[in-house]
């Protein structure tokens, strides 16, 4: 377990509120796995026994509809966790997970985490924080689909990836733009038009990198009245 991986995991929502001593005990039993692009992490319907934290790369969660179409439920990158709810209930995973780039994940056995909760109830705060964050993200996705333009949805997605609060920022995107489009409820051609529209808001995209001139301005654009955004 590399020190930088431990530090990143400690900043995640899953472990961020956990007492330091309990987090160290949990991390001492965690395992780091490397996944190639396109490799399956788990499948929908499998028994959920572990939770995961993304250390490097990108992971998508998706479901296959009865028609055979793939619906992207979530896209996760560095510092994000997934799989908690199903694993802690001993349920099955309601979605499948796949590495969309070469990635590094930390695997934490659900039973190890539950043991820490039984022995130190304060540990449950981290779980509640992570669960609330996932719920908030789902609500935000529904709101974005119903009340924001395509360009605003892309702007919000870029803002979520930025680690800086002000000034210019550069973020790395998944190579597969179809993945981003699916995550945002758009067609690939609509995503291209949205990126083109964001040039006037200081966003330039080259290959898998997006450069943002003013992240604070982009956040304002993502949140403004869609009626105004359509006029831009």
Q: Which residues of 24-62 are buried (b: 16+ CB within 10 A; e: fewer)?
A: ebbbeebeeeebeeeeebbeeeeebebbbbbbebbbbbb
Structure tokens at 149: 């333009």
Please give the CATH architecture assigned to the domain spanning 3-143. Answer: Sandwich (2.60)
In the predicted structure, residue 139 carries a pLDDT above the cut 80: no
Domain with CATH 2.60.120.10 in the chain: 3-143
d(CA 170, CA 206): 11
Helix or strand or coil: residue 209? strand
Q: Does the domain at residues 148-230 carry the CATH identifier 1.10.10.10?
A: yes
Return mean pLDDT, the chain: 84
- The predicted pLDDT at position 225 comes to 66
Tens of pLDDT, residue by residue over 173-226, are: 876 788 888 778 788 889 899 999 999 999 999 888 899 999 999 999 888 765
Tens of pLDDT, residue by residue over 68-81, are: 778 888 888 888 88
Domain with CATH 1.10.10.10 in the chain: 148-230
């Amino acid at each position: 377990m590399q020190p930088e991986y431990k530090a990143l995991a400690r900043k995640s929502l899953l472990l961020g509120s956990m007492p330091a001593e309990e987090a160290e005990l949990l991390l001492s039993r965690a395992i780091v796995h490397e996944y190639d692009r396109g490799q399956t992490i788990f499948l929908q319907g499998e028994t959920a026994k572990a939770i995961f934290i993304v250390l490097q790369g990108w992971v998508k969660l998706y479901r296959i509809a009865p028609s055979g179409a793939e619906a992207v439920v979530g896209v996760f990158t560095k510092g994000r966790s997934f799989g908690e709810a199903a694993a802690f209930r001993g349920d099955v995973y309601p979605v499948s997970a796949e590495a969309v780039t070469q990635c590094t994940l930390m695997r934490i056995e659900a039973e190890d985490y539950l043991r820490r909760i039984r022995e130190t109830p304060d540990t449950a705060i981290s779980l509640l924080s992570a669960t609330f964050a996932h719920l908030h993200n789902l609500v935000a996705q529904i709101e974005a689909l119903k009340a924001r333009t395509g360009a605003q949805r892309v702007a919000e997605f870029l803002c979520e990836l930025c680690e800086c609060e002000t000034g210019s920022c550069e973020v790395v995107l998944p190579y597969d733009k179809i993945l981003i489009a699916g995550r945002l409820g758009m067609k690939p051609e609509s995503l291209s038009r949205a990126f083109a529209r964001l040039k006037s808001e200081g966003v330039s995209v080259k290959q898998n990198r997006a450069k943002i001139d003013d992240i604070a301005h982009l956040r304002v654009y993502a949140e403004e009245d869609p009626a105004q955004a359509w006029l831009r």
